[in-house]
Amino acid sequence: HSALTQPPSASGSPGQSVTISCTGTSSDVGGYKYVSWYQQHPGKAPKLVMYEVTKRPSGVPDRFSASKSGNTASLTVSGLQADDEADYYCSSYAGRNTFVFGTGTKVTVL
Amino acid sequence: QVQLVESGGGVVQPGKSLRLSCAASGFTFRTYGMHWVRQAPGKGLEWVALILFNGSKKYYADSVKGRFTISRDNSNNTLYLQMNSLRAEDTAVYYCARPLTWDDENDAFDIWGLGTMVTVSS
């Protein structure tokens, strides 16, 4: 499976919203409920921020939301804060117990 | 608390081998499938391998199939990654990761270790 396609960068001012897309195929994003999103600050391990397309782990603020339509998933971060500046990766189950990540998006808070 | 700690990384020559370990604590390790995920310097995340809770089945990315072997010791709460025939393109931080739930190894990667760096260079 090829990496899922994400825009290299996205940005917004504090308090604004930013939306990141994640495009795959019917064999991964479009075919399963197992789409998740990860936040990674420089030099740190990734952190799960959304799972099973729309679910939020405990402790993740409700400023984070996500959706899926066809082969494209999206993550929206509302009310941008300085700490939201990070790299974001989507991931999808790709069948036969394999997984694929997105290319990553660097979010900048202006 | 729930924790994963990787070790075993280092600098190794192309063609050589290395074994990574991941010590788990704070949860019932023997009930969870476990993953390895890697990240080359300045690059994105790449899923490497999955092992089921009891070690009965193992799955690999095409890029490492036939060279890497994932295994586990449930009596010692430890996950392993044996890496053979290493190549320069295997240079990366290697993370072990636990799924969100014990009964669904295909769910999201919930708990991550801090990672261990592997550098393949002559």
Q: Supply the pLDDT for residue B106.
A: 83
B40 touching A (Cβ < 8 Å): no
pLDDT bin (cut points 50, 70, 90) of residue B120 is: very high
Residues in chain A, pLDDT under 70: none
Model pLDDT for residues B84-103, shown as the tens digit of each residue: 999 999 999 999 999 998 88
Model pLDDT for residues A3-21, shown as the tens digit of each residue: 999 999 999 999 999 999 9
Model pLDDT for residues B14-59, shown as the tens digit of each residue: 999 999 999 999 999 999 999 999 999 999 999 999 999 999 999 9
Interface test with A, best of B6, B45, B101 (most A CBs within 10 A): B45
Side-chain-facing half-sphere of A82: CA atoms under 13 Å: 0
For B26-58, b where at least 16 C-beta lie within 10 A, e where not — what string? Answer: ebebeebbbbbbbbeeeebbbbbbbbebebeee
**Residue A5, Cβ neighbours under 10 Å: how many?**
15
Interface test with A, best of B95, B106, B114 (most A CBs within 10 A): B106
- Give B89-92 contacts, CB < 8 A, sequence gap 24+: B89/B40, B89/B63, B89/B120, B90/B38, B90/B64, B90/B118, B90/B120, B91/B40, B91/B41, B91/B118, B91/B119, B91/B120, B91/B121, B92/B38, B92/B39, B92/B40, B92/B41, B92/B43, B92/B46, B92/B117, B92/B118
Amino acid at B110: D
Nearest to B50 among A3, A32, A97 (CB): A97
| Residues of chain A positioned with their CB less than 8 A from the CB of B40 | none
**Token representation of residue B68:** 């890497």
CA–CA distances in Å: residue B46 to residues A98, A99, B57, B103: 11, 9, 20, 23
Q: Does B95 sit within 8 Å of A3, measured CB to CB? A: no
Residue positions counted in chain B: 122
Q: Supply the pLDDT for residue A42.
A: 96
Rounded Cα distance between B121 and B119, Å, is 6
A88 touching B (Cβ < 8 Å): no
Contact A102, A73 (CB under 8 A): no
Rounded Cα distance between B120 and B114, Å, is 20
